[in-house]
Amino acid sequence: TELVNALKKGLKDRKNKSLLRNFITVSGRLAEASGREFIHLAKSIINPLMASLSDRMTLVRQDVLDAVEKFSASLGIENIFKRS
């Protein structure tokens, strides 16, 4: 949970684009590596992750799309966006 909290905090900080891109990449890789066991924690990361889709920097937006693809491949997109 500490790792997830650190990821959420990092995803909300949009001043340092290089650092933001690293947080986005780590989020996707974590979802990919953890698989279905990560689903309950993924729901708390997906909102700050998706907020970065509105970033001006094309590379940031592409990183978000790559991470979301990893989330959907590992967890199933229907499980991520399902209302609780």
- Tens digit of each residue's pLDDT (9 = 90 or more) over 3-12: 889 999 999 9
3-class state of residue 22 by DSSP: helix
Q: Any idea what the Cα angle at residue 82 is, between residues 21 and 76, rounded to 5°? A: 60
Q: Cα separations (Å) of 34 from 16, 23, 28, 39, 42?
A: 27, 16, 10, 9, 10
What's the pTM? 0.87
pLDDT digits (tens, 9 = 90+) for 14-41: 899 999 999 999 999 998 998 888 888 8
Residue 84 has pLDDT above 50, yes or no: no
Tell me the mean pLDDT in the region 55-78.
92
Please list, residue by residue across 10-39, b when 16 or more beta carbons sit within 10 angstroms of its beta carbon and e when fewer do: bbeebeeeeebbebbebbbebbbeeeeebb
